[in-house]
Amino acid sequence: MDLTHAVLSFAVLGALLTITPGLDTALVLRSAVTMGRGPAFATALGVNTGALIWGAAAAVGVSALLTASAAAYTGLRIAGAAYMLYLGVRMIRSAFRPGGGTVEPTGPAAPTWWSTFGKGLFTNLLNPKVGAFYVAVLPQFIPAGSSPLGVGLLLALVHDAEGLLWFSAIILGAQAARGFLARRSVRRTVDAGTGAVLIGFGLRLGLSGR
Query: pLDDT tens-digit profile of 192-204?
Result: 777 787 788 778 7
Domain assignment present for residue 120? The answer is yes
pLDDT at 103 over 50: no
pLDDT in tens, 23-65: 788 888 888 888 888 899 999 999 999 988 888 887 777 666 6
Residue 65: its pLDDT value, please?
64
Number of domains forming the structure of the chain: 1
Q: Is residue 56 part of a domain?
A: yes
Rounded to an integer, what distance in angstroms lies between the CA atom of residue 134 and that of residue 128?
10
Instruction: Tell whether 89 is covered by a domain.
Output: yes
Range of the domain at 139: 3-9+26-207
Q: What is the mean pLDDT of the chain?
A: 78
Residue 15 falls within a domain, yes or no? no
Domain assignment of residue 159, yes or no: yes
Residue 20 lies in a domain: no
Residue 92 lies in a domain: yes
Alpha-carbon distance of 170 to 56, in angstroms, equals 26
Place 15 in a pLDDT band, splitting at 50, 70 and 90: confident
- Is 108's pLDDT higher than 50? no
Picking from 8-12, 13-17, 104-108, 159-163, which range would have the lowest pLDDT averaged per residue? 104-108
The Cα–Cα gap between 186 and 194 comes to 12
160 assigned to some structural domain: yes
Closest CA to 203 of 120, 119, 83: 83
| pTM for the whole structure | 0.69
Better-predicted residue by pLDDT, 186 or 46: 46
CA distance 192 to 185: 10
Least confident of 103-107, 134-138, 144-148, 197-201: 103-107
